[in-house]
């Protein structure tokens, strides 16, 4: 089995790694409460970083006009402001860098005819969504500048979801370029049940997207006990004026309950897929990717539990998000490989 590594695949790999990186950078920006430190969106001139005391005072003065400073950080010093400013600036700078990493190599590869026509639509969608993501990013930040001290959980979820959609399309395209070159089926997932792996992928994607509501409403801080909720099977809710499904997007107790419950549902799905493997006499010791998924999935559960007991320290929160990225990418890989295996069986 040989896989030819070409410049097109290297470009897609660099994009994939860059998108993974910016998700983590954005995660830390969120965790460190740095996201509202830059109160303007200047797509071109915003790339410049303050270099002298006058420029820093101007930026700090802008931040001092928003509610987050007046109601939460009124005692913040200029030196403390410089720290949170850096992370928001770096997040935006890295986003611009990804834009350059997308556009310039794309123009070169198109000029050199290094891209197969079947990938044109997907690449156009990636570029379009990158532009949309930039707008969503500012739309999210803008929601926290007036009338509140944090960004809207809905816009945060939109921003995170779009990031994973872009990552998914980019990585799926990268896999497609590699899988199409593999001869034989030694690397295909030994299962014909494509639906199960697609279902697993979609459920993981939902859990990641819904995690933005947990973060956006700080619902994870409500309970530092597991699996009970301060000694109760279900969270106790008092004096709640909301009704219906809106609770699962607005009320912290509902949000954390759904997030935890959905994790248990995911666990049952993973257990069932393992059962299908053994039932079909699949040699799981040869399906290294699936074994790796099982390990990473269990590690994700462990991280979630540790976060709960320790009141969500930043390093565990970031590890939880990073591990979610790995789970997402492995899920895409397993789904793609199961599709290839099914196609081969249909041809044989």
Residue 240's pLDDT is: 81
Q: Assess whether pLDDT exceeds 50 at residue 307.
A: yes
**Residue 284: which domain range?**
186-348
Residue 3's pLDDT is: 47
Most confident option among 41-45, 48-52, 281-285: 48-52
CA gap 62, 69 in Å, rounded: 10
- Burial environment of residue 290 by CB neighbours within 10 A (0 to 12, 13 to 18, 19 or more): buried
C-alpha distance from residue 228 to each of 134, 176, 245, 266, 301 (Å): 40, 43, 23, 19, 15
pLDDT per residue as tens digits for the range 231-240: 999 999 887 8
Residue 284's pLDDT is: 55
Residue 347's pLDDT is: 40
Residue 187's pLDDT is: 45
- Which has the higher per-residue pLDDT, 179 or 328? 328
CA gap 300, 316 in Å, rounded: 10
Backbone phi, then psi, for 232, in 5-degree steps?
-110, 150
Do 249 and 152 touch, CB atoms closer than 8 A? Answer: no
pLDDT per residue as tens digits for the range 183-203: 544 444 555 678 889 999 999
Note whether 24 and 167 are same-domain residues: yes
Note whether 150 and 296 are same-domain residues: no
Domain boundary among 146, 163, 183: 183
Lowest mean pLDDT among 17-26, 230-239, 326-335: 230-239
Note whether 271 and 337 are same-domain residues: yes
Mean pLDDT value across the chain? 91
* Domains identified in the chain, total number: 2
Note whether 215 and 111 are same-domain residues: no
pLDDT per residue as tens digits for the range 269-282: 999 988 887 777 66
CA gap 296, 294 in Å, rounded: 6
Note whether 165 and 192 are same-domain residues: no
Q: Assess whether pLDDT exceeds 60 at residue 131.
A: yes
Average pLDDT over residues 137-161: 96
Note whether 165 and 288 are same-domain residues: no
Average pLDDT over residues 143-156: 95
- Burial environment of residue 286 by CB neighbours within 10 A (0 to 12, 13 to 18, 19 or more): exposed
Residue 242's pLDDT is: 81
Angle between helices 252-279 and 194-216 (to 10 degrees): 160
187: nearest Cα among 291, 335, 289: 289
Note whether 172 and 233 are same-domain residues: no
Domain boundary among 154, 183, 212: 183
Note whether 105 and 200 are same-domain residues: no
Confidence of residue 301 (pLDDT cuts 50, 70, 90): very high
Average pLDDT over residues 41-49: 92
Confidence of residue 72 (pLDDT cuts 50, 70, 90): very high
Confidence of residue 30 (pLDDT cuts 50, 70, 90): very high
CA gap 345, 348 in Å, rounded: 5
Domain boundary among 122, 150, 183: 183
Count H helices and E strands in the chain, helices first. 11, 0
In the block, tokens 């896989």 appear at: 3
Mention every residue, 6+ apart, whose C-beta is less than 8 A from residue 118: none
Residue 276's pLDDT is: 83
pLDDT per residue as tens digits for the range 311-322: 999 999 999 999
Note whether 34 and 179 are same-domain residues: yes
Note whether 177 and 240 are same-domain residues: no
Note whether 150 and 22 are same-domain residues: yes
**Tokens standing for residue 230:** 């301060």
């Amino acid at each position: 089995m040989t896989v030819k590594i070409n410049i097109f695949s290297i470009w897609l790999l660099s994009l994939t790694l860059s998108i993974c990186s910016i998700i983590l950078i954005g995660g830390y920006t969120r965790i460190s409460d740095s996201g509202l430190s830059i109160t303007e969106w200047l797509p071109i001139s915003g790339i410049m970083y303050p270099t002298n005391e006058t420029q820093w005072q101007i930026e700090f003065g802008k931040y001092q006009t928003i509610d987050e400073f007046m109601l939460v950080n009124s005692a913040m010093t200029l030196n403390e402001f410089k720290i949170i400013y850096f992370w928001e600036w770096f997040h935006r700078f890295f986003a611009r860098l990804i834009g350059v990493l997308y556009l310039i190599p794309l123009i070169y590869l198109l000029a050199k005819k290094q891209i197969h026509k079947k990938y044109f639509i997907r690449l156009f969608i990636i570029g379009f969504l990158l532009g949309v993501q930039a707008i969503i990013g500012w739309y999210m930040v803008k929601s926290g500048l007036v009338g509140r001290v944090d960004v809207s959980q809905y816009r945060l979820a939109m921003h995170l979801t779009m990031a994973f959609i872009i990552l998914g399309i980019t990585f799926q395209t990268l896999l497609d370029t590699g899988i199409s070159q593999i001869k034989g089926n030694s690397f295909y997932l030994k299962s014909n049940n494509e639906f199960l792996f697609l279902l697993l992928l979609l459920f993981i994607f939902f859990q990641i997207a819904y995690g933005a509501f947990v973060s956006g409403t700080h619902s994870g801080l409500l309970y530092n006990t597991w699996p009970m909720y301060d000694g109760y099977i279900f969270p106790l809710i008092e004096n709640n004026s909301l009704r219906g499904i809106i609770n699962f997007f607005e009320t912290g107790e509902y949000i954390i309950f759904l997030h935890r419950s959905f994790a248990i549902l995911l666990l049952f799905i993973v257990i069932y897929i393992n059962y299908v493997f053994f039932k079909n006499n699949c040699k799981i010791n040869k399906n290294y990717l699936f074994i790796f998924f099982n390990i990473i999935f269990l590690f994700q559960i462990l991280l979630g539990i540790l976060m709960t007991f320790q009141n969500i320290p930043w390093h565990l929160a970031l590890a939880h998000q990073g591990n979610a990225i790995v789970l997402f990418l492995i899920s895409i890989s397993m789904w793609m490989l199961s599709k290839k295996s099914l196609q081969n069986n249909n041809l044989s």
